[in-house]
Structure 1
Amino acid sequence: MTDNSAIPPFPAAIGVTHLLVYDTLAPDGLVGGSPHVHFLCSEMYIVIGGHGAVQTLSAAGFCETPLEPGQIVWFTPGTIHRLINHGSLEILVVMQNAGLPEAGDFVLTFPESILSDEQAYADAASLSPRGHVYASGERAAYRRRDLAVQGFVELQQRYEAEGLPALDRFYKQAVRLIQPKLDAWHAVWERGPLAVTQQTGQHLTDLARGDSSFLRQGSVYTLPAPASPRRLGMCGTLGVYLPEGAQKVER
């Protein structure tokens, strides 16, 4: 093992998680995860097993995209999304801006009565006062999934009846909930994704001067498969690849 401070982030400062999608019924009779939205992070699914779909709701309307092994699907911030599990759905999730999803870059699609009350939202989302994103147990995970599905179905119906105003109202409520976190998010972004981009800029400057000394720092790193216990996320159980667990390959 090497000194953690010497281990670089994943390429482009992304996050990678192994996801086994929940296999229990939601209130609308479908099997899967909790509908939610991200504000700053694009998300990509690399399907490695099973079958399912991702339902999305955005300004472009409602869509359901099938998920099959080998398929890659991604979507940008503002896209409300919900994973549907048709059988043993297993995904590698790649997230933009590593650190921000873990810091709470999401809002679940709870009913409006919960979204309008900050404390009610935190309680329903099973969030700690520090905003930790993982549920404390299966009952809490399924309870918040079921509430999010209820709100998602209601939002979809309002969108069909009202169009964009219904979606804009949800966005406005969601933004109000995350605004207290923005300073902390900015700090995470500065230390991670921004720092990585700035390093690339410095390397370009170095190369233009003919300075190749930074290339001496090239190394190989490995991560083992995520170990148990798995964490209870919004869409399923999570095996988190932690960069601080990386091993440097010694020659």
Structure 2
Amino acid sequence: MVEENRMINGTSVPPFPAAVGVTHLLVYDTLAPDGLVGGSPHVHFLCTEMYMVIGGHGAVQTLSTSGFCETPLEPGQIVWFTPGVIHRLINHGKLEIQIVMQNAGLPEAGDFVLTFPETILTDDQAYFDAASLSPHGAVYSSSERAAYRRRDLAVQGFIELRQRYESEGPTALERFYVQAVRLVQPKLATWRAVWERGPLATAQATGHHLVALAEGDVSFLQQGDVYTIPAPATPRRLGMCGTLGIYLPEGARRMNL
């Protein structure tokens, strides 16, 4: 998660380029209720998500107002989709993805809703209980059984939503969006704060730099530096689509020491 410059050992560590989030994903390799292997279908509200496939093979199933689509995934391929696109990763074998996420920090602040059946989506407490991997409401936990149970429930709802879309068209999706947005509205103030401190502040910094360059001010160029973050360490987190290795600026090292 990248929200703002962080002080690490007295050094200011800048956000990733454009204040994006970066995550390494190993997609789940267990069977869902429909006999397919993969992750939990879900949707984001404010974040465009990009997959950079670095190993294995699979596909991403998507559902939007344009209909259902399945896009094959193979090493070297890049796929991205915008907010509102319901997506589900399918693992055909050792699928490994580097994820780049817009508005870093928002997914971890809850910018997602899983495609649970309508009976759960319409009940706030039922959704919270089903989406959490622990009694305390944690998004991550060490319980694979809980992660797979959540995945299976999301797949069940995704199948039902696809069937409703086939019979009702975009009306079925609109109803899902309305139900999903109601669940996340209490989080909007938190999301705004993350956005203002991270992506907005980063874009505004570029504006300040443009003004400085126009005035011949090179002082910000003299503050340039190089940083590196090692590969995510174990234990990995159990996420919606697989095990996650999250790159955090807190782990950055300044190279020019």
Q: Same fold (TM over 0.5)?
A: yes
Provide Cα deviations, 1:131-168, integer angstroms capped at 9, x if missing partner: 64324411110011000000000000000000011000
CA distance in 2, matches of 1:96, 1:132: 22
The CA deviation at 1:3 is: 2.9
Question: Which of 27, 31, 34 is equivalent to 1:25?
Answer: 31
CA distance in 1, matches of 2:207, 2:234: 39
| Correspondence 1:99 to 2:96 | no
Evaluate the alpha carbon distance shift between residue 96 and residue 184 of structure 1 in structure 2; reply closer, same or farther with a 3 A threshold. same
* One-letter amino acid matched to 1:28: D
Superposition TM-score, scaled by structure 2 size:
0.94
| Correspondence 1:247 to 2:253 | yes
| Correspondence 1:163 to 2:169 | yes
Evaluate the alpha carbon distance shift between residue 154 and residue 5 of structure 1 in structure 2; reply closer, same or farther with a 3 A threshold. farther
| Correspondence 1:230 to 2:249 | no
Question: Which of 200, 208, 216 is equivalent to 2:206?
Answer: 200
Question: Which of 138, 142, 147 is equivalent to 2:144?
Answer: 138
CA distance in 2, matches of 1:128, 1:143: 12
The CA deviation at 1:86 is: 0.3
Structure 2, gaps ≥5 residues long:
1-6
Provide Cα deviations, 1:115-139, integer angstroms capped at 9, x if missing partner: 0011100100016698643244111
Q: Is the 8 A contact 1:103 1:133 kept in 2?
A: no
Question: Which of 123, 140, 152 is equivalent to 1:117?
Answer: 123
Superposition TM-score, scaled by structure 1 size:
0.97
Evaluate the alpha carbon distance shift between residue 204 and residue 52 of structure 1 in structure 2; reply closer, same or farther with a 3 A threshold. same
User: Percent identity over the alignment?
Assistant: 79
| Correspondence 1:70 to 2:76 | yes
Question: Which of 44, 61, 64 is equivalent to 2:50?
Answer: 44
Q: Is the 8 A contact 2:133 2:146 kept in 1?
A: no
Q: Is the 8 A contact 1:134 1:233 kept in 2?
A: yes
The equivalent of 2:4 in structure 1 is none
RMSD: 1.5
CA distance in 2, matches of 1:226, 1:8: 19
Large movers: runs of 4+ above 4 Å: 127-132
Q: How many residues align?
A: 251
CA distance in 2, matches of 1:128, 1:38: 22
